[in-house]
Amino acid sequence: MVKTASYAQHNDADAGITVIEPLHALNSGQSEYAPFFWKNKLYFISNRNNHFALYLSERTSRNAVSSVFQPEKEPGTYTIPQHLAHKINSKYNEGPFCFVENGIYITCNQYNRSFSGNPPLEIRYSVFDNQKGFTEARRISIDLPDSVPFGHPAVINDSLMVFSAKIYDGKGKTDLYYSIRKNKRWQRPVNISSINSSSDELFSNYNNGYLYFSSNRPGGYGGLDIYRTKVSGLQFSTPELMKNPINSPFDDFGLWIDPTLRWGYFTSNRSNTEDDIYWFSFAPPLFEDCKPFVKPNYCFLFYEESGIESKDTLGMYYEWSFGDGEKSRGLEVRHCFPGPGKYKVELNIVDKSSGAVFYNQVSYDFLIEGGRVLSFELPDTIVAQKPVIFKPQLYSPNKVSGKVSFHWYFGDRNNSNKAFTSHAYEEAGKYTVKLSAFETKGDSVIKACVEKPLIVMSSADYALLAKNHVNPIRDKNPLIKKNNSGSSDTIIPALANARTEQTPNWKYDHLYKINEEDTSYSYKVHLGISPNMISPNDTTFRGLSPISYNKINDLYHYSFGNAHNLAESKPLYNEARKKGFENAIVVAFKGDSLIFGSNMNNIFKLIGDSIKLTNGMDTTKNISLIIFFGNGKCTLSDEARKHLDKLLQQIKNKYVKNIQVTGHTDESGSAELNDKISLQRALSVTDYFINKGIGKSVIKTSYKGNKQPLFPGNEAKSDYNRRVEIEIFF
């Protein structure tokens, strides 16, 4: 290893590293160095039992081979060494390497060329196959003369690699360079001047945004020291010297760290004349950049202040739909959303007998802003020596796709890596609780950390406080209601009024507002829409009269009846449904103008082949598909999955406004059983779409049981009645 006698005195230490130990079960008394952890196995270089090879040798042949160690549960415990494929090993030197997803980049001598003296180093690449193992390692295609030595690769991504080399434009002895790959060839290397010095820069390694390397430049602890630099695109920050105990007055190099930046391996000769591999960990695990705890509040009180008193007598109820798959009944309801996002909030008046929407009272897009939020449940004051449950919560507007781990630091020198954990404080006092979360997906890590002050009291002091505690006067502001935990719910009125000014952080837009005392409003039953004009006397309308129509956005809207209030429209609504218009809905008119609200987002279907399915917001159906099921079956067949996958490919990268999934059965069996089976069939398709990434709010799932067979009374064709119909609207 490269030595230097010039180094500065350092008394500082990295307090975050509390565990560092040599791997006695692995180290041999010869050189073991440049560790790399890949696919749950530890790889390293060794020259044990001979003077020139950089790999562990076999007992009989003494040929140089690499060694693989599989860590067990505890650090430093390993299984019997497994040798790497002979296609990578050679009779000459192999040195530092790095694994990528499908192979290995490795430093080795140019053993297939003739040179005077020692052959120069080069980087070779070997492809790894799960069945065949490693292919023969071959020199990478790079814009460098054969005589230029280069090695110690660190591949940042498929098109960017950092390595050490001795080139005429260097700043010192051995410098770090980067190369970009284009058209399967690595381009001419570029000197990383922001990193290099007049000394050596060697043993590069990369993980999660940081490049680690070693240098014997002045100003370090002594010998080779480990540095790190932040990588952003092709920009490299000023190198940062890692502190003791990673670095020492001896040679320290070849550091590998896991994607969460919490543990890893490095090489040092601090306790031996030869190089050994050490294991280290951060405990507590990187509780840095913690933000003050702010409990997220995604719970809101929704209310409608202009309810119609006669709803109950009409056989109706109010139902809120929150756009997250949840519904609640009542004029005033409290709802907690799963996290930040955009939700379609609707208040519908629902017919008790049919469960269908009778009238859409109000609708708006409800936006909860914010990214990922980490928090935890914990009182402000607890009792000493009494266990308390610590519960983490991670809110995200996007689906958490990686593996999430939580880590606690309790402020009393204790920590835990369990998500839900119990802890008791021995002594009263003031503490700071910290929670960190790591979401790991491949080599990518998203980290968050929050902290909260905590008061721990003795049992006697806590009892005295509770006895003398006086509840504050309840806030008489009607806009604020307290939930059970004592924190305020945010109040969201269903209709716009002056109160919304007191909740400025939550934006929503009401689409329309009806004043039922205004006699200029009237109510009709909306039957459906067609792209072409249909006569009000057409048999399609089945004798309903009077029929009126409005042309909006090149679509004809047909309505039946005319009432002065919602109560009077109920008989008209019942009559339309008896005539077969199952998607009929009551709508409001201002004079002769149809009031456009979210009620027009409902899908209407007229009886007649000349009518298109549409939703009144100028949205037409573009794609339909029917999936068939076996008798009594509710699971998707392989053939059905193929058709669904083909359908998903058709709508990929398209803006889909609505997907209607409707389940059906044949005519045999009881109505109750058929309703259940048709719902299960519809849900099997819905779940398949959701698992494939389709948003839950886009899909409308319904079931018809045996009420709408394609071939009524035809037992020979009953196979076609057992189906799910899928209609996609853009």
- What mean pLDDT is predicted for residues 430-443? 82
Give the Cα-Cα-Cα angle 336, 342, 343 (nearest 5 degrees).
Answer: 55
In the numeric block, the tokens 């519809």 are attached to 682
Same domain, 634 and 587: no
Same domain, 572 and 464: no
pLDDT digits 0-9 by tens, 609-618: 333 333 333 3
Per-residue pLDDT band for 238 (boundaries 50, 70, 90) equals: very high
Specify the higher pLDDT residue, 86 or 523. Answer: 523
pLDDT digits 0-9 by tens, 402-423: 678 888 889 887 778 788 888 9
Query: Is residue 502's pLDDT more than 50?
Result: no
pLDDT digits 0-9 by tens, 599-651: 444 334 443 333 333 333 333 446 778 888 988 889 998 888 988 998 888 88
pLDDT of residue 23: 82
- Long-range CB contacts for residues 573-578, cutoff 8 Å, separation at least 24: 573/351, 573/358, 573/525, 575/544, 576/525, 576/527, 576/544, 577/354, 577/356
Q: Give the three-class secondary structure for 45.
A: strand
Centroid of chain to Cα 184: 32
Give the Cα-Cα-Cα angle 300, 318, 490 (nearest 5 degrees).
Answer: 10
Consecutive H or E run containing 639: helix 638-651
Contact 615, 602 (CB under 8 A): yes
Same domain, 626 and 599: no
Same domain, 637 and 719: yes
**DSSP-assigned beta bridge partners for residue 185:** 182
Specify the higher pLDDT residue, 599 or 376. Answer: 376
Contact 46, 56 (CB under 8 A): yes
- For 496, phi then psi, to 5°, come to -70, 135
261 in a structural domain: yes
Q: Please give the structure tokens belonging to residue 650.
A: 């058709």
Question: Rounded to an integer, what distance in angstroms lies between the CA atom of residue 67 and that of residue 44?
Answer: 7
| Number of compact structural domains in the chain | 4
Same domain, 385 and 449: yes
Of 243, 263, 282, the last residue of a domain is 282
pLDDT of residue 500: 29
Greatest Cα pair distance in the chain: 104
503 in a structural domain: no
Q: Give the three-class secondary structure for 313.
A: helix
pLDDT of residue 650: 81
Same domain, 51 and 141: yes
pLDDT of residue 64: 35
674 in a structural domain: yes
156 in a structural domain: yes
Specify the amino acid at residue 653.
N
Per-residue pLDDT band for 203 (boundaries 50, 70, 90) equals: very high
122 in a structural domain: yes
- What mean pLDDT is predicted for residues 84-98? 65
Strands 381-383 and 444-457: parallel
CB atoms within 10 A of CB 552: 16
Query: Is residue 370's pLDDT more than 60?
Result: yes
Question: Rounded to an integer, what distance in angstroms lies between the CA atom of residue 519 and that of residue 275?
Answer: 92
Same domain, 555 and 528: yes
Same domain, 608 and 685: no
Specify the higher pLDDT residue, 135 or 142. Answer: 142
- What mean pLDDT is predicted for residues 652-663? 81
**DSSP-assigned beta bridge partners for residue 69:** 42
Contact 19, 283 (CB under 8 A): yes
Q: Which of 390, 438, 393 shows the shortest CA–CA distance to 414?
A: 390
Residues 6+ positions from 661 with CB-CB distance below 8 Å: 682, 685, 686, 689, 699, 700, 701, 702, 724, 725, 726
Question: Rounded to an integer, what distance in angstroms lies between the CA atom of residue 330 and that of residue 337?
Answer: 18
CATH number at residue 446: 2.60.40.10
CATH number at residue 568: 3.30.70.1070
Angle between helix axes 638-651 and 671-691 (nearest 10 degrees) is 50
Of 619, 652, 673, the last residue of a domain is 619
Q: Which of 671, 676, 574, 565 shows the shortest CA–CA distance to 352?
A: 574
pLDDT digits 0-9 by tens, 7-61: 344 556 655 555 788 887 778 777 888 898 887 778 888 776 533 323 333 333 3
Query: Is residue 179's pLDDT more than 60?
Result: yes
Q: Please give the structure tokens belonging to residue 185.
A: 């060839």
Question: Rounded to an integer, what distance in angstroms lies between the CA atom of residue 242 and that of residue 226?
Answer: 6
Contact 289, 449 (CB under 8 A): yes
Q: Which of 158, 156, 151, 166 shows the shortest CA–CA distance to 254?
A: 151
Q: What is the end-to-end Cα distance of the chain in Å, rounded?
A: 66
Same domain, 608 and 628: no
81 in a structural domain: yes
Of 619, 639, 671, the last residue of a domain is 619
342 in a structural domain: no
Per-residue pLDDT band for 496 (boundaries 50, 70, 90) equals: very low
Same domain, 117 and 208: yes
Query: Is residue 81's pLDDT more than 70?
Result: no
- Helix and strand numbers (H, E) in the chain are 4, 49
Same domain, 574 and 663: no
- What mean pLDDT is predicted for residues 228-242? 92
Query: Is residue 478's pLDDT more than 60?
Result: no
473 in a structural domain: no
Question: Rounded to an integer, what distance in angstroms lies between the CA atom of residue 490 and that of residue 500?
Answer: 11
Centroid of chain to Cα 424: 33
CB atoms within 10 A of CB 508: 17
Same domain, 62 and 122: yes
By residue range, what is the domain housing residue 704? 621-729
Q: Please give the structure tokens belonging to residue 196.
A: 């290099």
Q: Which of 316, 351, 312 shows the shortest CA–CA distance to 582?
A: 351
